A and B are shown apart, each in its own frame.
Chain A
């Protein structure tokens, strides 16, 4: 078999042997991966598998015990502000200040990111996410679905090249979850954004992610396209794969011992 051609895609985010210990327990164990421009990478695993720790390290909120983290070719810790200017984040578990109006919250973040013509940008994004009518609503009075879409407007404000989405469809009804997935995919394709995506909703992953990484006890146990992983594991769908990994900690005949790149 001829050797595969070298991967020439631009690497946006890279972790090399990332390890994070808490009181002697490894929440992440030599975790390595590359996220390329225009790619959506799903980070999956059961509760406690290490994906939140990974996300926190990648956001610079938690320092790794060892290993290297680079974004846009720059070491993350030393260039945190420069990198965050080109990135953004949205999580189902954070909120924008509830007593401010939606437009006020978005205007503040638009100014923080230095968005030119912020009002126009906010209006465009709100229209894209079909929430223009929420502009003058009090943020704390929005439904979960509305709140998620407002958070996504905030996440798209600075035209990020790298976006980290932490369970963006958690607590959404299937209709809104579907709309959110479609918008994320649409914007991602139009703007060629690299997205790191965590979710417990395997429908999300199959629909949105180009490639997924399964974590178990801080280690990568398998990696590939959703279709490849389903085929390799002789499972019917990604949810079955998830359950197998969560219960047995392994999936393939020879699970990867070291993190894949």
Chain B
């Protein structure tokens, strides 16, 4: 991998964001809307139920913030790719000496920057608006963020592969794919509260361990190390599978001659 090429591709996205204030606004708009809705619901429940239950609803805010980290990581990869499709620049990239690994790495970095912006905005608003301090998760935040980011990248690569294969008809998947997982990865509720048949499915995905871990940390200040181990292990597996899928689909589109039709549509 050539870091000069990765930095050139990242620079292109930075130019794009610097020239488009709406893209920057979009980074914060939906997370803030979600946070305000969930924050108000939390306040409402806290005021109208017994204090013990009230403290539990803070899990909603924690879940919502961490979910958004994963979603932004996925978007960083998928939307960066779509930016090239929308601007008809894909062909220029594919005929330049850019390896798929360099292209994907650049989208990962853009994903990280998007996460950083979103996380700062959400932490700030949740603290000042709802007295929810995301830093109560202390150092656990780092492995939480890392694991969710890795799974977001995997989903981003899968979304990109599907768009590569089916063209812009599959564009909506860039937004929809993370939400396929939301019901089963226990973002807002515990795995034990889910229907029995769905629990084994939940444990197949790294975010489940992270969201369960987050609730443990918020409740007792400690976390099950096994959760982190399982999440990291599964993330390596999903990243490898998603990377393989992306390269396989890219080669398939080359074999079938779909790439140019897709790149200039």
The contact size tier of chain B is: 20 to 34
In whole angstroms, how far apart are the Cα atoms of A104 and B12 in the complex? 8
**Interface-located stretch among B68-76, B81-89, B138-146, B219-227:** B81-89
Q: How near does chain A come to B164, taking the closest CB pair, in angstroms?
A: 13
In whole angstroms, how far apart are the Cα atoms of A85 and B97 in the complex? 5
Q: In this assembly, does B20 line the interface, its C-beta being within 8 Å of a C-beta of chain A?
A: yes
Give the size of the chain A interface in residues (CB under 8 angstroms): 37
Which single residue of chain B is at the shortest CB-CB distance from A21? B257
B127-152 vs A, CB cutoff 8 Å, 1 = contact: the mask equals 00000000000000000000000000
Q: Are B11 and A111 in contact (CB under 8 A)?
A: yes
Q: Which of A83-107 contact B (CB under 8 A)?
A: 84-85, 88-89, 91, 93-101, 104-105, 107
Q: How near does chain A come to B257, taking the closest CB pair, in angstroms?
A: 4
A152-195 vs B, CB cutoff 8 Å, 1 = contact: the mask equals 00100000000000000000000000000000000000000000
Q: Are B259 and A61 in contact (CB under 8 A)?
A: yes
A116-150 vs B, CB cutoff 8 Å, 1 = contact: the mask equals 00000000000000000000001000000000000
A74-89 vs B, CB cutoff 8 Å, 1 = contact: the mask equals 0000000110110011
Q: Are B260 and A101 in contact (CB under 8 A)?
A: no
Q: Are A96 and B92 in contact (CB under 8 A)?
A: yes
Q: Are A101 and B19 in contact (CB under 8 A)?
A: yes
Q: In this assembly, does B263 line the interface, its C-beta being within 8 Å of a C-beta of chain A?
A: yes
Q: Are B97 and A62 in contact (CB under 8 A)?
A: no
**Interface-located stretch among B1-9, B25-33, B44-52:** B1-9
Which single residue of chain A is at the shortest CB-CB distance from B99? A81
Task: Please indicate the chain B residues that have their CB under 8 angstroms from the CB of A33 in the complex.
Answer: none
Q: In this assembly, does A16 line the interface, its C-beta being within 8 Å of a C-beta of chain B?
A: no
In whole angstroms, how far apart are the Cα atoms of A176 and B251 in the complex? 38
Task: Please indicate the chain A residues that have their CB under 8 angstroms from the CB of B236 in the complex.
Answer: none
Q: In this assembly, does A53 line the interface, its C-beta being within 8 Å of a C-beta of chain B?
A: yes
Which 9 pairs, one residue from A and one from B, show the smallest C-beta to C-beta distance?
Answer: A111-B8, A97-B87, A84-B97, A62-B257, A108-B12, A95-B88, A85-B97, A104-B15, A94-B91
Q: Name 9 extra pairs, CB < 8 A, besides A99-B20, A114-B4.
A: A61-B91, A84-B96, A89-B92, A94-B91, A99-B16, A101-B15, A108-B11, A108-B15, A112-B9
Report 7 cross-chain contacts, Cβ distance below 8 Å, ordered by A residue.
A61-B254, A63-B254, A63-B255, A94-B88, A96-B89, A98-B87, A112-B8
Residues of B whose CB lies within 8 Å of any CB of A are 4-5, 7-9, 11-12, 15-16, 19-20, 83-84, 87-89, 91-92, 94-99, 251, 254-255, 257, 259-260, 263-264
